[in-house]
């Protein structure tokens, strides 16, 4: 699990309710910028935030750019599965998270004029996005609600003292 992974010694669990609140907070920021022609969701992580933002900003035109880079917690080569045939002018590009920036760099190059927004941002990729809500340290694994289930976990203090 994330707590035992050397790359991600910390875990930041996000509930459905928190994700909804954070995506709405992002919507408030985006509303102040301009009226958007549409949303391009980066699949798969950007689908849920895009749906919330589309509702909050009354956007009915939603497209996707489909990329694949993660298998579990391992990030490999970024593969574009479905591109977008637009430079992104007046479009909002949405993802759940910018982590290392590998996916963001590929998508940003493909859709250079889009306004790139993520709900969460880590330092390594933060400079590639235009707007985000919450910054999380690079060594933290964000545990999204679609990747988790509720269960008991040991308190952090117990784990630090060598507890099970």
CB 31 within 8 A of CB 57: yes
Q: Catalytic site residue 96?
A: yes
Catalytic residue among 22, 96, 139, 147: 96
Burial (CB count <10 Å: 0-12, 13-18, 19+), residue 74: exposed
Residue 81 sits at φ, ψ, to 5 deg, of -95, -30
Q: Catalytic site residue 147?
A: no
- The Cα 34–Cα 66 span in angstroms is 25
Q: Catalytic site residue 63?
A: no
Catalytic residue among 58, 99, 130, 139: 99
- At 111, is the secondary structure helix, strand, or coil? coil
Catalytic residue among 86, 87, 90, 95: 95
CB 122 within 8 A of CB 135: yes
Catalytic residues: 95-96, 99
């Amino acid at each position: 699990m994330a707590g035992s992974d050397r790359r991600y010694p910390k875990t930041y669990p996000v509930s459905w309710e928190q994700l909804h609140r954070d995506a709405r907070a992002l919507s408030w920021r985006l509303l102040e910028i301009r009226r958007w022609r549409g949303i391009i969701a980066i699949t798969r992580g950007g689908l849920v935030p895009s749906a919330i933002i589309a509702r909050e900003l009354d956007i009915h035109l939603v497209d996707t750019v489909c990329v694949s880079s993660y298998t579990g917690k391992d990030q490999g080569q970024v593969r574009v599965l479905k591109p977008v045939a637009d430079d992104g002018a007046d479009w909002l590009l949405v993802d759940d998270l910018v982590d290392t920036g590998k996916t963001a760099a590929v998508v940003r190059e493909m859709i250079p004029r889009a306004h790139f927004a993520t709900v969460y941002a880590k330092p390594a990729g933060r400079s590639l996005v235009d707007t985000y809500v919450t910054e999380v340290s690079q060594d933290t694994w964000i545990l999204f609600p679609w990747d988790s289930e509720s269960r008991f976990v040991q308190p952090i203090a117990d784990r630090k003292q060598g507890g099970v």
